[in-house]
Amino acid sequence: MWLFPEIRSLGQYPEYWARHDPSRAALRTAARVVDFAEFDRACARVANYLSDGIARPGELVGFMGKNSFDFYFALFGCARTRAGLVIFNWRLAPAELAAQIADSEVRHAIVEREQAELWQAACAHLSTPPQAIWIDEQETLEKRVAGCSEKPVAKRPHLEDTAFQLYTSGTTGNAKGVMLSHGGTNMMRLSEHLEPTYKWQAGDSFVNGLPNFHLLHIGIMLQCLYNGVAIDIVRQFDPAAMLATIDRMKPTLLTLTPTMLQMLLDHPDAAKTDFSSIRLTLYAGSPISLGLIKRAIATMPGEFMQFYGSTEAGGATSILRPDEHDLEHEEKLKSCGRPLPLIEFRIVDADGREVPDGEPGELLIRQPSITTGYWRQPELTQQAIENGWYRSGDIARRDEEGLYYIVDRAKDMIVSGGENIYSAEIENVLSTHPAVAGVAVIGVPDPRWGESVKAIVIVREGHAADEDVLVAHCRGLLAGYKVPKSVDFVEAFPLVPSGKVSKKDLRAPYWDGQQRSVA
């Protein structure tokens, strides 16, 4: 049943490949290639360094920094102890970061000196800040642990131990620390192994410029390294840097959020970038507009696959397979596919009753890789996970073929005159207009209807559009009550660190302190 029965915890990924194919590339940049043998030795030294009073069983060790060799050494090295690595978000404001540091109760944190100003400003909010283990280009973590033993540490992790912890984006409230265990991550690998769509090839590499404090980075990276796939490290997402890496390193696998995919395709360098090495582009993190996925399929070679998941679920829960990306059946392009093996979906109404196919309701998820809970918040854990089912907060529907569609976030649903309106449906329609480069739909206060539909649009360069034109476009494709009552034009959307559009920030100026019925 297991692809690699020897691997039972996250820290064993490099160990396995160091034994069976030590010279295989594990981590790459333009300047350096680290094979699995070197990767394994570095992780062993980090584990022994952390075991000397830093990584205590049941506690967390912090990390804050961008993508680098040191990040991977820290993650897989810490995973050989009985402490978990909590990865902090370097895009936060000091007070936000301080809240996460305090909540995690870390005593030590590995911090890049590039983040010193933010880290110190955050620690100024704390009565007992953690001790920072500073690293930079000259004093890397790898150099710091160079003299440490490479022998296995005495206290190896248990399956129920937290391997790593990520904080949810906090777009709708206080961020929560999501604990992901060794056993859970291993079960996620089993679910992926049992899915026939995943096919790994000799010489595969994954170009990774995703933020390391987000599950989209961690989930795909773990899947790749488990299967012996090299990671092409991009320090942080930047369209020009990603395109240059694709040209230079010739990766075969690419994963982006829809927002990142659009930024990549919109960049001037995209027209001269050689995408021919990429055999599979995965996209996830938020619903994709119909216009964008059609454009991507027409522009880029290779196959496309969407996956839907969440931090709490520990990885992908469903995938829309490459053979379902069919431009002759556009409706399927809006789907998030079907659950992976070992994963179950239910769609329920407000009373917890399952709804018939075609009807929207809240999506509940059951899978063996689900979070062990929110760090130090048992009550919130019980609210989120009931009888083994995780309440996703997403409104979904299932069609007669068994395909699932994410209709909207429950908190983004617009209630106008008693009608439930799902913003993603309107965004899909507007995205097909040639003048629309980006669109987000929100509910704004309306004295008669409670809320009315507003579209916020980024106009494609070289095109022109006004409110009347876009409203008319919608009127022929949507029921009257779904048609935007107003359209605003902006140059860019506010984003949360994971790359999703922050609808909370988009709504804020219009509500000005008023209470939304579904917010």
Kindly report the average pLDDT of the chain as a whole number. 91
Q: Which residues in 284-368 belong to E strands, given as ranges?
A: 303-310, 315-320, 338-339, 344-348, 361-366
Q: What is the percent of the chain where pLDDT is above 90?
A: 76
The model's pLDDT over 88-112, given as tens digits with 9 standing for 90+, comes to: 999 888 888 999 999 999 999 999 9
Residues 166/178, Cβ–Cβ less than 8 Å: yes
Place of tokens 């029965």: 5
The DSSP element (H or E) to which 458 belongs, if any, is strand 450-459
Q: What is the DSSP string of 236-297?
A: S--HHHHHHHHHHH--SEEEE-HHHHHHHHHSGGGGG---TT--EEEE-SSPPPHHHHHHHH
Q: Which residues belong to CATH 3.30.300.30 in the chain?
A: 413-511
Mean pLDDT of 362-380: 95
Query: Domain 12-397 is classified in which CATH homologous superfamily?
Result: ANL, N-terminal domain (3.40.50.12780)
Place of tokens 């994410």: 406
Other CB atoms within 10 Å distance of the CB of residue 215 = 25
Helix (H), strand (E) counts: the chain: 15, 26
Task: Report H helices in 444-519.
Answer: 467-475, 503-511
Q: How are beta strands 385-386 and 389-398 bridged, if at all?
A: antiparallel
List Cβ neighbours of 519 (8 Å cut-off, separation of 6 or more).
172, 411, 504, 507, 511
With cut-offs at 50, 70 and 90, classify the pLDDT of residue 284: confident
Mean pLDDT of 204-210: 96
The model's pLDDT over 328-339, given as tens digits with 9 standing for 90+, comes to: 888 888 899 999
Q: What is the pLDDT of residue 124?
A: 97
Q: What is the pLDDT of residue 310?
A: 87
List Cβ neighbours of 447 (8 Å cut-off, separation of 6 or more).
none
Pick the more confident residue, 262 or 390: 390
Residue 282 has pLDDT above 80, yes or no: yes
Characterise 352 by phi-psi region: left (phi > 0), alpha (psi -120 to 50), beta (else).
Answer: left
Q: What is the pLDDT of residue 445?
A: 87
The DSSP output letter for 337 is B
The model's pLDDT over 478-510, given as tens digits with 9 standing for 90+, comes to: 878 889 999 999 999 998 766 678 888 898 899
The DSSP output letter for 371 is -
Fold of 413-511: GMP Synthetase; Chain A, domain 3 (3.30.300)
Q: Which residues belong to CATH 3.40.50.12780 in the chain?
A: 12-397
- What gap in Å lies between CA 427 and CA 457, rounded to an integer? 10
Residue 515 has pLDDT above 80, yes or no: no
